[in-house]
A = this chain, B = another copy of it.
């Protein structure tokens, strides 16, 4: 039995879901609201925020939190047919550099503005601040430019094979796309990459997510957007 504590529009939770999905591992989803975790979740996960993966095995319970640790754990199965990390150590370093980029830099530059304003504020009944959103959108433009630049010379973000870096990026981009924050016609190279990623079976459950009171963008679940 495998349970993932998650929140549907949390990019970190989505990274974990995508990694598990890519490895075709079955899991049950239990929702946790990041800004209002339950007492029982706090007892389970010292980080206090999703994602948290719990595996019941004969030897007891394995509890792994943070998108980073869960993704690496799931990738770490020695199955090269569905490898989420490339063979070369140099390329693995590039994957991990980019994962850190999305976990820390993209999160701080973009999520801390756009997602917290448009999701947390909407859910807790206050209005988003347009000045804060403007900053987040300026930062987002820089990040989309950087991703496009990377994709000019590579099939996928870190190298020529799909990796944890694409899952990290895709998790973030998909949340922003739910909120219609990306004007896809301005980013053709990125759009091609996201179309490939979005068509993968691991993405399907994410495209079915709906947040009550917050309708997704028109193209959110459309594979030919």
B-binding residues in A (CB < 8 A)? 46-47, 62, 64-66, 68-70, 72-73, 76-77, 89-90, 92-94, 96-97, 99-101, 103-105, 146
Contacts and interface: CB of A to CB of B under 8 A. Distances in A.
A98 to B, nearest CB: 8
A93 B68 CA distance: 9
Contacts of A94: 64, 69
A149 to B, nearest CB: 9
A42 to B, nearest CB: 13
A46 B146 contact: yes
Nearest to A46: B146
As for how many copies of this chain the complex holds, the number is: 2
Contacts of A104: 103-104
A93 B101 CA distance: 20
Contacts of A70: 93
Contacts of A68: 96-97, 99-100
A96 B62 CA distance: 14
Nearest to A49: B105
